[in-house]
Chains A and B, each alone.
Chain A
Amino acid sequence: MRNKRLLMCLVIAILAFIVVPFCVNAEDKTIKIGAMYPMTGRAGLYGKDSVAAAEMAIDEINGKGGVAGYKIDATFTDSKVKPAYAVRVAKRYITEDEVDFLFGVVSSGVGLAVTEISQQYKTIFIGTDHASTRLTVDNFQPYYFRVSNNTFQSMTAGALYLKELAETKPWKKIAFIGPDYAYGHSQWDEIRYNLDRFGVEYEVVGEYWPKIYAPDYTSYITSILKDKPDVLISGFWGGDTVAFIKQAQAYGLFEKALYFHPDAGGNYELMSAMGAELPDGLVLGARHYNNWPDTELNRNFVQEFKKRTGRFPTYAAEGAYAGIYAIAHAVEVVGNPDDTEALVKALEGLKIKLPEDPEGFTSYIRPETHQITQVMAIGTTMPNEDFPPAKKMLGNWKIYKAEDLDPPAEYIEMKRKK
């Protein structure tokens, strides 16, 4: 009998320990963010950088006392780059941890799965990296916002670049190589859509679809050489770019065709991996650059990141950093992180000064698509040892105005009708 009572007391004590912190937490004013990033394999690099940059933004904001009396508290979970797994994590975040925002995701495949959960549970999902245009156009839903460029924007900038190029250095024949999944295919569709829209004449001489993460491109390279394109448009992602460039260099491809890679070619990790080996004169673009724009905000962002992690950031970092600031701005406008509908309204009208904004421009969310609209730059590889271990960086920038890059209304209409 006594034993039973003792047991009872113990159970109550344990329950109290478990429940009390929750009660305290609820009174504690926090903005809860449930973040998902890949931590393993090839995409792990982007996951790690995103987490570091998000934490950096959180520390900056909380260090100044938080927003509207709230502190930001983020939990990070490995997405494993598996949509089904990320969906389970997102559901757990919403139902058990009661997060105010879903956050993150490097892969568009994972993003497309998580955006459905966001819609179903009416929980705002801030996309920081994945680039598939489908999230803001075809599969648009009101609780999704993206704070980094999508492929349509980079492909529009790319098409404008090629149009200008034709005036100084005539070209006609193009070939494409990119990974055989949504990301690669949308880039190819979007660049042609935009070239057509701008009335640029071109002839497609080859189209190649290796698997993502394929280690060997030699046969593709020799086949591209046979096609003799003037411009090779590339849609590779991540480390695949490194492997392709090294193998193509061995065949002298870059002397015979212009290598043009506007969405993810200009990623810093390519420069840091290849050092002096990286050829000059490749035309590349990315969603964030460590050496452009040369503004105080960008310099501080890059140097602070370096101080925290010991390395320069990849493009993914700035997206995560921007995402945290977007949340902070929205909560500041609304006054709390609980009124989801008001937060959606606040995010729709969001204007936010980010490290990747040049002087005189402020990024903004376009209400029809919930897509951030930003200036884009495309550069050419050239020697620059300011960001070691890279020995080459981009320069000779061509800048494209933000409002010219967004998908036109008829494009959105056409895609949403389908």
Chain B
Amino acid sequence: MDFSFFITQAISGMTMATLLFLVASGLTLIFGVGNVFNFAHGSFYMVGAYFGYQLVAIWELNFWIALVLAGLGAGLVGMLAESLFLRRIYGRVNEGGFQILLTYCLILIIDDLVKLIWGTEYKSLPRPKGFSGAVTFGDIYLPSYNLLIIAIGVVVVVASWWILTRTRPGKIARAAAVDREMVDTLGVNVPLTMTLVFGIATALGGMAGALAAPLRTVTPGAGIEVIIDSLIVVVLGGMGNFWGAWLGAILVGEVNAFAVAFVPKWASLFSFLVMVIVLIFKPEGLFSPRQVRKV
């Protein structure tokens, strides 16, 4: 294997990893702060992709403005879903089961709504102006849109880390994750915090959808395709761990990229294999502190 192929393959792994991370980041945020497993998170990714399609292809808006609006739109839908439905089941006995049922219902409902509004035909978005070409270094050929996606991923990681650890709202969110009641007693409006966190997380998912639209097919059911891989990433990184999600996504993306290059027949297997190994040897996630196991 020559060096230029190694770089090309690594970068293509990074492209996949970043889109995976952008979806997984919201998933892990909701899990970390709200202790909610949002099975419908992929549907917000799909909603974002459709918003992007509506804004760019039909209303002919600038791609970058559309990207922001699609994220905000998906976040708004997310906040509605949280305050209308999810909020009602917090604190129930066996809440986990209810969460899965409820969010699974959301998948079906959102899928059908999308079908009603946009139909079942496949949709697609062109790459934005200025990013339809490629950057070349000798033999290395890198599409500029793919590089842009990777850069956006880095910005999101750093910005989220900064918000969560260095700002007051971020600290409140983290505190609420540890002890909801205590934060409530201190005068913080916890339900509102939860809704906002859900909104931010689904906005991240929606933005990922709009960002992926120029490279993927916009179609009903697109949410289900990304949720499994995102779940693997969240488990690898440690449920609720932001940096972990990014590193987990890179691990999955790169393992897949090099598996495709060297053992193409079995490539699909490897990301699952990595997850199984991690679950056996470090079930709390690769990048989370080792927990004391209760006997």
Taking Cβ atoms with an 8 Å cutoff, the residues of A that contact B are 40-42, 44-45, 48, 180, 206-211, 213-216, 218-223, 225-226, 238-240, 242-243, 246-247, 250-252, 269-270, 272-277, 311
Q: Would you give the shortest CB distance from A146 to chain B, in whole angstroms?
A: 24
Q: How far apart sit A207 and B120, CA to CA, in the bound complex (Å)? A: 31
Q: How far apart sit A213 and B224, CA to CA, in the bound complex (Å)? A: 10
Would A223 and B264 count as touching, CB distance under 8 A?
yes
Would A216 and B16 count as touching, CB distance under 8 A?
yes
* Top-9 shortest CB links A-B: A41-B221, A250-B143, A239-B217, A273-B122, A219-B257, A45-B120, A218-B12, A242-B217, A222-B12
Q: Would you give the shortest CB distance from B271 to chain A, in whole angstroms?
A: 10
What residues on A are CB-neighbors of B119 within 8 Å?
311
A218 interface neighbour in B15, B108, B268, Cβ under 8 Å? B15
Q: How far apart sit A203 and B120, CA to CA, in the bound complex (Å)? A: 39
What residues on B are CB-neighbors of A219 within 8 Å?
9, 12-13, 16, 253, 256-257, 260-261
Residue of A nearest to B115 (CB): A44
Q: Which residues of B in the span 92-130 have a Cβ within 8 Å of any Cβ on A? A: 108, 111-112, 115, 119-124, 126-127
What residues on A are CB-neighbors of B111 within 8 Å?
40-41
What residues on A are CB-neighbors of B221 within 8 Å?
40-42, 44, 213
Would B120 and A48 count as touching, CB distance under 8 A?
yes
Mark each residue of chain B from 1 to 29: 1 if its CB lies under 8 Å from any CB of chain A, else 0: 00001001100110110010000000000
What residues on A are CB-neighbors of B13 within 8 Å?
218-219
Once A180-B268, A216-B19 are accepted as A-B contacts, the answer to whether A275 and B124 lie under 8 Å apart by CB is yes
Would B225 and A214 count as touching, CB distance under 8 A?
yes
Q: Would you give the shortest CB distance from A232 to chain B, in whole angstroms?
A: 14
Would A222 and B217 count as touching, CB distance under 8 A?
no
From DSSP, what is the main secondary structure of chain B's interface residues?
Answer: helix
Partner-binding segment picked from B164-172, B181-189, B208-216, B285-293: B208-216
A/B pair count, beta carbons within 8 Å: 135
Q: Would you give the shortest CB distance from A321 to chain B, in whole angstroms?
A: 18
Q: Would you give the shortest CB distance from B5 to chain A, in whole angstroms?
A: 5
For residue B205, CB closer than 8 A to chain A, the reply is no
For residue B146, CB closer than 8 A to chain A, the reply is yes
For residue B141, CB closer than 8 A to chain A, the reply is yes
For residue B267, CB closer than 8 A to chain A, the reply is yes
For residue B145, CB closer than 8 A to chain A, the reply is yes
For residue B265, CB closer than 8 A to chain A, the reply is yes
Q: How far apart sit A395 and B115, CA to CA, in the bound complex (Å)? A: 31
Residue of B nearest to A314 (CB): B121
Residue of B nearest to A218 (CB): B12
What residues on B are CB-neighbors of A238 within 8 Å?
122
What residues on B are CB-neighbors of A239 within 8 Å?
122, 217, 219
Q: Would you give the shortest CB distance from B189 to chain A, in whole angstroms?
A: 37
Q: How far apart sit A219 and B10, CA to CA, in the bound complex (Å)? A: 8
Would A272 and B264 count as touching, CB distance under 8 A?
no
Would B124 and A277 count as touching, CB distance under 8 A?
yes
Would A246 and B215 count as touching, CB distance under 8 A?
yes
Q: How far apart sit A45 and B126, CA to CA, in the bound complex (Å)? A: 22
Once A45-B120, A45-B121, A222-B8 are accepted as A-B contacts, the answer to whether A250 and B217 lie under 8 Å apart by CB is no
Mark each residue of chain B from 127 to 138: 1 if its CB lies under 8 Å from any CB of chain A, else 0: 100001010000
